[in-house]
Chains A and B, each alone.
Chain A
Amino acid sequence: MANNSMEAANTATQSVNTNTHTESKTMKQKKRSSQWTWYIFLIPSFLGILLFMVYPIAESLRLSFFKSNGTIETFTGLANFRTVLTSGPFWNSVWNTFYIGIFQIIITIPLGFIFATLINSVSKGKNFFKVLYFLPNVTSIVAAAMIFQFVLHPEMGILNYILGSLGLPTPGWFSDPATSKWGVILLAVWHWIGFVIIICLANLQAISSEMYEAAKIDGASGIQQWFFITIPNMTGTFAFLLITGWIGALQRFNEVYVVGGPNGSPARSIQTMGAFIYERGFTGFEFGIASAATYIMFIIILIFTFINLKVSKMKI
């Protein structure tokens, strides 16, 4: 009787174990199958990335070793890279890209930070100023470039009208190679500053007020607080703006294309690397040269971003 009950108990335990084992197995299977379900959701975007990013990148690399007009192709090895690297207009476009980029960044980040600090310190109308400064950033750069052509018109432009009224010289802006880059810099600063202000404001609002209170107790002045509390707490944001700003600046194309066309008129003075690639690829059917220039531009951006990361000590 006792043996029987023992056996029954053993059988029950075994059955429970088997059930638990089966259940845990089913749970695992369920988990795995539910994981797979989510991969199905990823297929459309994965296909998109594969077709519209991975394939063009690979195809562009292949094309850079060919002389190609789109249909007829001849393998030329590294000749396209040699042509680009020995081309005067290419290095001119590199110079233009960096010139415009450097001044855009060294003007916009400090200016945006100062504006953000001022907006942060006002008690009323904060949101109004945020909207006001952010508006240019949501404006299409193509439309903004067209408007700037009127603003910087050498004879009828409002800026030259103001400068003339103040007795100052009136530059030719986009009609003079000496000032055309500054026209683009003004446009770029105007367009980007709203973004810089918003990012800086977000960081400013995250700095603990206790730090300022402690500094005040220690007798620190407003300027001292700004230099020794605010700025050191902003380094992460500055690094972020520096890196994203540089990547955007090195890819600059839209506004210079609207203002100066693919050859960066006048006299290639605002032709950027992006415009150089467009000019060779899409106006002259030199797809091999354009692809090689694209990869050289990619390497330049890669090296420069690496240097930026080191300089700004930003962790990614």
Chain B
Amino acid sequence: MIVISTTIAKYVLGGYFMVSKVVAYIAIAVIITAIVVGVAVYYLVPRPAPPAAPPPAKPPAKPAPPAKELIIYHWWTAGGEREAIDAVFKIFKEKIPGVKISENPIAGGAGAVMKPVIWQLLAAGTPPDTFQVHAGGELKEYVDAGYLEPVDDVWSELGLEKVIPGTLQAMCKFGGHYYAVPINVHRSNVLWYNPTVFKKLGIIEKFGDPRTWDLETLLKVCKYIKENAPKVLGKTVYPIAVATRHKWPLTHLFEVLLALHGGPEIYVKFWTGKFKYKDPKDPVWKAVRDVLRAIGIMAKEGYFNPDHPELTWDQAAAKVMKGECAMYIHGDWVAGYYMAVKAKYGEEWSAAPFPKKIFVCLSDCFNLPKKAPHRDIAIEWLRVVGSKEAQEKFNVIKGSIPARVDVKPKYPDPYRPETAEDWVKSTLVPSAVHGGLSKEAFVTAMHDILTYMISSIEMGTDVDKAVDYAVTQIAVAIERTGLVDFWKGYTIDYFITKR
């Protein structure tokens, strides 16, 4: 056997070397020609550009694959999330008996890992039937690229326009068409605090309800906690918890403080680039500077927990629960975390909308890609997502509130009834950090600019200097990320539901 194989190898290799010169030249010529021709054909032969206008609601040909399958991508894999989406799957299966759900859950908070996968599938022309996406700017990027079909029919059939507030409608509607059905709503602007620490230091008696604090009061509270905690509690308590290992929680803090300090108009102007960003005297810059300076002071004075670069958002939440930090400005999925770890409400955690009068919202939704292999099933899925029953079941478990205002579940926790009430009564703006308002390129740039700013301040850079540098960097980022063009044709009022 060995002899035979050696002989063959010898023969082949010998043969190869014998013909090698001529054949090698031919082979190289073939390779080069193939590459050149391939590239030329690929780029020189004109191809139809992806259509800018929304396509007709129904594709001409019906998809061939056999019915009753739903290929779905989502990133709900953590405890609580998993059970929530399973509840919706159950309803869906009851509605369409025998349907096979091909799930592709891709772990990673906020879809950090899933999104690149989806982009590749869409670019390759092999979309799933539906996938999870944040309503707002993030959704618009898919719409602009021509990957999605409008779902106006589902909206009108379910009467969603009557039960979903204007801001969230705007976050799903581009160029006059709806492109997704929202399943839930989270609030981004919440101040989480440790009630024991607050009570012992008498924060609320001294500074009033956190729901009414302004930026200055927040800084005063930080100062007070920093100075008095060692005396009263006998240990250092960092006033504000933050986590920058994944960077975005710091941008989240910035977002909430900007809404608090600048109000809804300035907030929306900043995140959509709708202001004179080349003019340093623009009022938006003043508000942004104030907020950056406040964050800078927090970094300088040691109001943040010093280990923030090694923490993720949930670890920062844990610090408040344990009383190592006093406050945490973060979204309301923190409530889901506290409930999951069975922290005691009123003792280990409590929450206040911050500020109460504004509701910075984000929403997960599902959509209908063009060329979805099981289009009819996908539309059925969207009907379920928008239904009262699914919204109630999903949100009670997930820790969010329903997008529909006519769904009023009984919440097991003390926090959410207030959120649900504010969803109907407060001024609404979309969250930029969570895909609602800005362009992801700009938000990503902000992550780096802000973490760089506090890191340099913590290393000893002067606050004003660091803020100046951050402001110039932000202006460059607005320019380079194409933020202004992205929101061309939309006014700031489009995103704000004034109440």
**Physical interaction between A and B:** no
Chain B residues with CB under 8 Å of chain A are: none
Chain A residues with CB under 8 Å of chain B are: none
